[in-house]
Structure 1
């Protein structure tokens, strides 16, 4: 059973993420970090370059010279919006490629947390890949309505905020899936867990999402989030009760 009352605590969720960051330097985990590091290096560098040039082109196309002073207002708005949308999309793509390696990392991290020498059973690669596709499909279906919010006057002013919340939710869903799948949780059960632990989950996903937008930091925060999510789920599982949130 999972102690969802503790899971709903943002400070508890963030402490697990911090523990994940600290464990990045663990000797037994280093070999599990290399391939995700290479994947993230290529994809996030591409996302940053594409984002910068795309935002610049949009501003020059739609803002005439006599309104150039608006750049001071629109540039941050456009850039933040693109960061939220662009990096969220690239995170989904990066996780799709790195999913099998993240699954291995989660299993090894759990072994270290438990202090066991016996390897933890890992999920088959095909099962991990199918699970990743289900999550991406679930999130993509909800992306289009959110994109339409940017076209509605007045509502588009809060669209970046709604996007940030959605991104935090989706990112948490991505990284929490690895330890939950290893415990035999189906996709509907994973969603139920996230909904019952929403404040902790949103805090975890929000901080991870912000870190994903930071150069250099974004290369390793995904691995730290996998470890942190593994610790989060493991510590909640220590309770035999499941209070309602």
Structure 2
């Protein structure tokens, strides 16, 4: 039975993404969707544990080493507390950048491996949200098309992300302004995640990737805030394991009710 659409109550669209996430969480607990939620969840757990096991110790040591030799001596000894505060700030910024980079890498890895399961989940969610019939497609064709589309998306976003990463690096090297580096990376990563999860719903309706991006630009605040919310939850231990399948459902909701021209 289709759910009634969310009617915007005015104000900024950034708050609407929270409502979609809550609705998606409720939907994810329905019996017909649980098994499709479990499969990406299993991928999340395995990859997250593996990534932390490989990189956790090295990253901790690297961050702790930042500014370890900065100890003013002689007539500059009075600057010790200021230097220590600066060292602490740089370590916090480094952790923020690393957490966002790990969250982005972790998300991309899972999306490439679990892309077909995400597609199945989006399709099942679509059936519960919309009364419109879905395009008929065999399981084999769906899997091939989903994997092909993920590779196209990855390449499209990779070269753009490299340019943004270069900008972030430049900002990081400029005193005072370097505090903007994590913010720029966070906003860019959030926009990409918003597009990614919106695309599952678009792909289910066989809307082209370029067409999806063009429509998403008309809802920048909603898509961007949805992606930033997803990214934030991805960086929270334990919660991040459940975020991805719920975000697929939320993206499908947003696509059908706010972005798609099918309504």
TM-score under structure 1 length normalisation: 0.85
Question: Per-residue deviation at 1:69?
Answer: 3.3
Q: 2:31 matched to 1:9?
A: no
Q: 2:223 matched to 1:204?
A: no
CA distance in 2 between counterparts of 1:177 and 1:169 reads 12
Greater relative contact order (CA < 8 Å, ≥ 6 in sequence): 1
**Corresponding residue for 1:150?**
169
Give the SS at the match of 1:33.
helix
CA distance in 2 between counterparts of 1:238 and 1:84 reads 29
Question: Per-residue deviation at 1:119?
Answer: 7.8
Q: 2:193 matched to 1:137?
A: no
The equivalent position to 1:180 in structure 2, one of 171, 181, 202, is 202
Q: 2:167 matched to 1:167?
A: no
Given the superposition, is the C-alpha separation of residues 51 and 185 from structure 1 closer, same or farther in structure 2, using an over 3 Å criterion? Answer: same
Question: Per-residue deviation at 1:91?
Answer: 0.4
**Corresponding residue for 1:53?**
57
Q: Is the 8 A contact 2:134 2:204 kept in 1?
A: no
The equivalent position to 1:69 in structure 2, one of 84, 92, 110, is 84
**Corresponding residue for 2:251?**
229
Q: 2:101 matched to 1:82?
A: no
CA distance in 2 between counterparts of 1:14 and 1:206 reads 11
Given the superposition, is the C-alpha separation of residues 53 and 18 from structure 1 closer, same or farther in structure 2, using an over 3 Å criterion? Answer: same
Deviates more, 1:13-22 or 1:59-68: 59-68
Question: Per-residue deviation at 1:208?
Answer: 0.6
- Root mean square deviation of aligned Cα: 2.8
Structure 1 residue runs of 5 or longer lacking an equivalent are none
Question: Per-residue deviation at 1:105?
Answer: 0.5
CA distance in 1 between counterparts of 2:159 and 2:145 reads 21
Given the superposition, is the C-alpha separation of residues 13 and 120 from structure 1 closer, same or farther in structure 2, using an over 3 Å criterion? Answer: farther
Number of residues of Structure 1 aligned to a counterpart in Structure 2: 236
Give the SS at the match of 1:13.
helix
Question: Per-residue deviation at 1:198?
Answer: 0.5
Structure 2 residue runs of 5 or longer lacking an equivalent are 1-6, 72-82
Rg (Cα) greater in structure: 2
**Corresponding residue for 2:239?**
217
Given the superposition, is the C-alpha separation of residues 229 and 191 from structure 1 closer, same or farther in structure 2, using an over 3 Å criterion? Answer: same
Deviates more, 1:153-162 or 1:34-43: 153-162
Q: 2:111 matched to 1:95?
A: yes
Q: Is the 8 A contact 1:44 1:218 kept in 2?
A: no
CA distance in 2 between counterparts of 1:180 and 1:111 reads 13
